[in-house]
């Protein structure tokens, strides 16, 4: 055989030829013609060149697939042409045919990357076969190059997709060490991808899930049986900034085995595991919140009504089995609505949170504290040795609440009304038990709040009454004739003269008789009926003032209670001024009594409204002074005229040193701020005496007179020395 094959391809190659461009380079025309004829084929274009220069100019175009090149040319040698092709990166296959028979020239040609070397006197079939091999080889090369390009493109695409993926994508070797990790791992776990290569997967798996997921990370199965959608917690790199937003993420993990590529139909050697982990932390948190929300109160994080009910039902079953007692306590924060209305909901919310935390502190682990809604809480004491234990717990809670709460730089003294019901004494099912505790709690509220009461059967009736009061109050406001004003004289202790009258509303309920304002005013405030009631009080009081003036009592101030809610109304000033003008009441004879809580609100609009009210000449007193708040800053901010010492301090005078000291301090504050001071709830001569000694001369209380209806008030006034002496 004369042909020397470089690739050792079979002698008789199968033709893959599609449209080829050939060039025959020889200085002898007879050879060119002979080979052109020999190689002629419908798929081929065959050109000729008789010297090196002509050949180069044709090759320059880069369209020649195969050149049949004589080494010996008149101008430049065939070897130089091959060097030129290499230098110019022209991809043309060269078959050298030469008259030189030496092995050296063949070696030279092959070193210059000739595809084959043929002698000029070779068998024409050898030439045919060599050309066919060269063209086939070239065709395969082209296909290979195209496949390589496609592979490169596809790899680039996959790399892009893997890097851009929102999921962590990784591969592990069969020992469980990372061999690949995409860049997403940085934003999710705070590790650089390279940092993890060569590390064991356990580095990123939360130890709590380690046993649970080790099969997934050594997964050998592929296809449908492989691990999919397994929920796993991954650990965040503890030293990365990412760790500040959480120490773990939850992912859904899918893995499958990776095997060495083998012929189709055969499985190769297991080389490791590939996996995808999708971050579902956000979804998980949302799910947990929804699940938590169903059974907890989001503000205090305490169990809610549903969970409490569930636990109570279980506790009842358990108590009945063991023949034990259990207790339910129902809590309501006294005057909480006032805090919300006065300071706004964020402060109210914070107070509820702190209240819940304090009560929780007083309970044992097995007890359940739940929020029923608003300012209502319940406690389940699941196993009760003695009924007396409840009182101990209630006292502990109340003692804890005695310490002031500090919310947004404001101190609050919170008191609570507690009702208690015991299984099986008061009720045998959960709903009934809660209702009994609720009724007992209302009983405490009705009796002046801040206390604890155990359920008693008669409470059933008063509870039902309370519910109907709201409806009856609406009716009373509509009709207007069930209310009456009473007046309690305010006296100058030294002279016994009346200086003013506190106006106190009474409600004559058609069936229940007289209902105390302590009972219906809070309901009126809750329902908004207070606005209509206050209007009625203002008009009626002004008309009584006119009547009193006509009788010669034209020097008496009228003290009127206004609920804090009314200060929020935009027509607040007109509502006060109109009745004053209508009945010719000089504004300085109207004394609006407001609670400290309103002044503490310190909202610009309230400040402005109170100031405008003062500008009209109306007087302002602070009612129940000293009972709730310790800050006195507001006294500087508001130009009030008087402070009223709360009756709780007066009541304790002579009994407690504390009250004495408090009243002494209040009188001192009043003098400091140049304010008038009046003590309410004076019932005894001893109290009068001490108050007098402390520098408080204006007083009000049963010692002088109870609140009286209008006619009786006139009679009383007529007995005062001032009037008796004939000086109104």
Ligand X SMILES: Nc1nc2c(ncn2[C@@H]2O[C@@H]3COP(=O)(O)O[C@H]4[C@@H](O)[C@H](n5cnc6c(=O)[nH]c(N)nc65)O[C@@H]4COP(=O)(O)O[C@H]3[C@H]2O)c(=O)[nH]1
Only one of the segments 75-83, 101-109, 290-298, 676-684 lies at the binding site for ligand X (rule: CB under 6 A); that segment is: 676-684
Residues 438, 443, 448, 450: what is their CA dihedral angle, to the nearest 10 degrees? -40
Q: Which of 287, 300, 226 is nearest to 259 (CA)?
A: 226
Task: Assess 275 for contact with ligand X (CB under 6 A).
Answer: no
Q: How far apart are CA 497 and CA 115, in angstroms?
A: 135
Cβ density class 322-337: b for 16+ within 10 Å, e for less: eeebbbbbbbbbbbbb
Contacts of 10 (CB under 8 A, 6+ apart): none
**Which part of the chain contacts ligand X (CB under 6 A), choosing from 19-27, 150-158, 322-330, 678-686?**
678-686
Size of the site for ligand X (CB under 6 A): 22
Query: Which tokens is 100 given?
Result: 């030189």
Is residue 702 part of the contact set for ligand X (CB under 6 A)?
yes
Contact string (CB under 6 A) for ligand X, positions 619-638, x = contact:
----xx--------------
Contacts (CB under 6 A) with ligand X, residues 527-546: 537
The closest of 367, 383, 343 to 634, measured between CA atoms, is: 343
Question: Which residue is at the shortest CB distance from ligand X?
Answer: 701
Residue 681 is a binding residue for ligand X (CB under 6 A): yes
Smallest separation, CB 702 to ligand X (Å) = 4
CA 619/CA 637 separation, integer angstroms = 15
According to CB under 6 A, which one of 188, 362, 370, 521 is a site residue for ligand X?
521
Contact flag: residue 338 with ligand X (CB under 6 A): no
Question: Is residue 518 at the binding interface for ligand X, with CB under 6 A as the rule?
Answer: yes
Q: Is 182 left (phi over 0), alpha (psi -120 to 50) or beta?
A: beta
Binding mask 424-463 for ligand X (x = CB under 6 A): ----------------------------------------
Token pair for 33:
């013609």
In the complex, what is the shortest distance from the CB of residue 607 to ligand X, in angstroms, rounded to a whole number?
21
Q: Which of 441, 580, 701, 723 binds ligand X (CB under 6 A)?
A: 701
Per the CB < 8 A criterion, the answer to whether 334 and 415 are in contact is yes
Q: How far is the CB of 503 from ligand X (least distance, A)?
A: 6
Task: Name the H helices within 480-563.
Answer: 517-527, 530-550
Nearer to ligand X, 233 or 644 (CB): 644
Residues 563-592: x where in contact with ligand X by CB under 6 A, - otherwise, as a string: x-----------------------------
Enumerate the β-bridge partners of residue 581.
Answer: none
Contacts to ligand X from residues 635-654, by CB under 6 A: 647
232 versus 541: smaller Cβ distance to ligand X: 541
Coil/strand/helix, residue 559: strand
Task: Choose among 205, 203, 217: nearest CA to 172.
Answer: 217
Under the criterion CB under 6 A, does residue 683 sit at the interface with ligand X? yes
> Smallest gap, in angstroms, from Cβ of residue 706 to ligand X?
7
d(CA 639, CA 619): 9
Beta bridge partners of 420: 329, 454
CB of 527 to ligand X, least distance (A): 13
Q: Shortest Cβ distance from residue 514 to ligand X (Å)? A: 10
| Residue keyed to tokens 């949302």 | 286
Please, what is the Cα angle at 455 between 451 and 456, to 5 degrees? Answer: 120
Q: Compare residues 70 and 624 and give the one whose CB is closer to ligand X.
A: 624
Site string for ligand X, 497-516 (x = CB under 6 A): -------xx----------x
Toward ligand X, which CB reaches closer, 549 or 647? 647
**Angle, CA of 181, 185 and 186, to the nearest 5°:** 125
Beginning with the edge strand found earlier in the chain, give each strand of the sheet holding 248-259 in spatial order: 178-181, 168-173, 270-279, 248-259, 230-235
Nearer to ligand X, 183 or 517 (CB): 517
Pick the closer one to ligand X by CB: 182 or 647.
647
Q: Return the residues of window 461-490 that contact ligand X according to CB under 6 A.
A: 488
- Residues 535/563, Cβ–Cβ less than 8 Å: no
CB atoms inside a 10 Å sphere around CB 149 = 10
Q: Which of 707, 708, 713, 717 binds ligand X (CB under 6 A)?
A: 707
Interface with ligand X (CB under 6 A): 488, 504-505, 516-518, 521, 537, 561-563, 623-624, 647, 680-683, 700-702, 707
């Amino acid at each position: 055989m004369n042909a020397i094959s470089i690739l050792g391809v079979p002698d008789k190659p199968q033709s893959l030829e599609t449209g080829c461009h050939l060039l025959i380079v020889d200085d002898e025309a007879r050879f060119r013609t002979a080979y052109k004829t020999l190689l002629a084929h419908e798929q081929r274009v065959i050109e000729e060149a008789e010297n090196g220069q002509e050949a180069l100019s044709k090759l320059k175009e880069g369209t020649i697939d195969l050149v049949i090149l004589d080494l010996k040319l008149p101008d430049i040698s065939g070897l130089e042409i091959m060097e030129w092709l290499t230098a110019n990166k022209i991809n043309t296959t060269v078959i050298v045919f030469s008259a030189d028979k030496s092995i050296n020239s063949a070696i030279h040609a092959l070193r210059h990357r000739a595809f084959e070397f043929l002698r000029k006197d070779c068998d024409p079939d050898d030439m045919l076969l060599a050309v066919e091999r060269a063209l086939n080889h070239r065709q395969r090369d082209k296909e290979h190059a195209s496949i390589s390009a496609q592979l490169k493109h596809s790899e680039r695409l996959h790399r892009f997709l893997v890097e851009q993926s929102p999921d962590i994508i990784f591969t592990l070797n069969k020992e469980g060490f990372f061999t690949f990790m995409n860049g997403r791992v940085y934003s999710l776990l705070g590790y650089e991808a390279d940092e993890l290569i060569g590390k064991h997967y356990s580095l990123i798996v939360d130890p709590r899930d380690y046993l649970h997921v080790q099969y997934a990370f050594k997964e050998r199965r592929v296809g449908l049986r492989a691990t999919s959608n397994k929920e796993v917690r991954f650990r965040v790199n503890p030293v990365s900034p990412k760790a500040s937003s959480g120490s773990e993420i939850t992912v859904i993990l899918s893995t499958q085995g990776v095997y060495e590529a083998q012929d189709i139909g055969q499985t190769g050697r297991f080389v490791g595991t590939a996996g995808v982990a999708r971050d579902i932390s956000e979804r998980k948190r949302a799910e947990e919140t929804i699940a938590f929300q169903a059974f907890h109160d989001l503000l205090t994080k305490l169990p809610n009504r549903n969970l409490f009910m569930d636990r109570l039902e279980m506790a009842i079953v358990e108590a009945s089995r063991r023949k034990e007692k259990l207790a339910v306590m129902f809590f309501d924060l006294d005057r909480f609505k006032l805090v919300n209305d006065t300071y706004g909901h964020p402060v109210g919310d914070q107070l509820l949170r702190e209240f819940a935390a304090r009560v929780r502190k007083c309970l044992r682990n097995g007890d359940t504290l739940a929020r029923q809604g608003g300012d209502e809480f319940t406690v389940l004491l699941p196993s009760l040795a003695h009924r007396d234990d409840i009182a101990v717990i209630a006292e502990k809670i109340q003692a804890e609440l005695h310490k002031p709460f500090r919310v947004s730089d404001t101190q609050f003294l919170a008191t609570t009304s507690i009702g208690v019901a015991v299984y099986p004494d008061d009720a045998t099912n959960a709903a009934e038990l809660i209702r009994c505790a609720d009724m007992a709690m209302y009983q405490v509220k009705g009796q002046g709040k801040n206390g604890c009461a155990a359920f008693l059967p008669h409470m059933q009736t008063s509870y039902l009454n309370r519910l109907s009061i709201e409806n009856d109050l609406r009716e009373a406001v509509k009709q207007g004739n069930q209310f009456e004003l009473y007046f309690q004289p305010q006296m100058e202790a030294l002279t016994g003269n009346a200086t003013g009258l506190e106006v106190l509303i009474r409600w004559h309920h058609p069936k229940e008789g007289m209902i105390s304002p302590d009972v219906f005013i809070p309901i009126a405030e809750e329902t908004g009926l207070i606005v209509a009631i206050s209007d009625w009080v203002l008009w009626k009081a002004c008309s009584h003032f006119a009547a009193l003036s006509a009788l010669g009592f034209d020097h008496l101030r009228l003290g009127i209670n206004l609920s804090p809610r009314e200060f929020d109304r935009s027509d607040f000033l007109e509502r006060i001024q109109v009745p004053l003008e209508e009945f010719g009441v000089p504004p300085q004879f109207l004394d609006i009594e407001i609670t400290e809580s309103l002044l503490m609100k310190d909202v610009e609009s309230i400040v402005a409204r109170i100031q405008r009210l003062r500008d009209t000449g109306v007087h302002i007193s602070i009612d129940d002074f000293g009972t709730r708040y310790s800050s006195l800053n507001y006294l500087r901010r508001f130009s009030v005229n008087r402070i009223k010492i709360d009756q709780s301090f007066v009541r304790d005078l002579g009994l407690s040193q504390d009250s004495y000291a408090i009243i002494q301090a209040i009188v001192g504050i009043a003098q400091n701020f140049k304010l008038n001071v009046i003590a309410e709830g004076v019932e005894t001569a001893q109290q009068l005496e001490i108050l007098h000694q402390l520098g408080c001369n204006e007083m009000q209380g049963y010692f002088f007179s109870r609140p009286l209806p209008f006619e009786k008030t006139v009679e009383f006034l007529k007995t005062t020395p001032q009037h008796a002496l004939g000086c109104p």
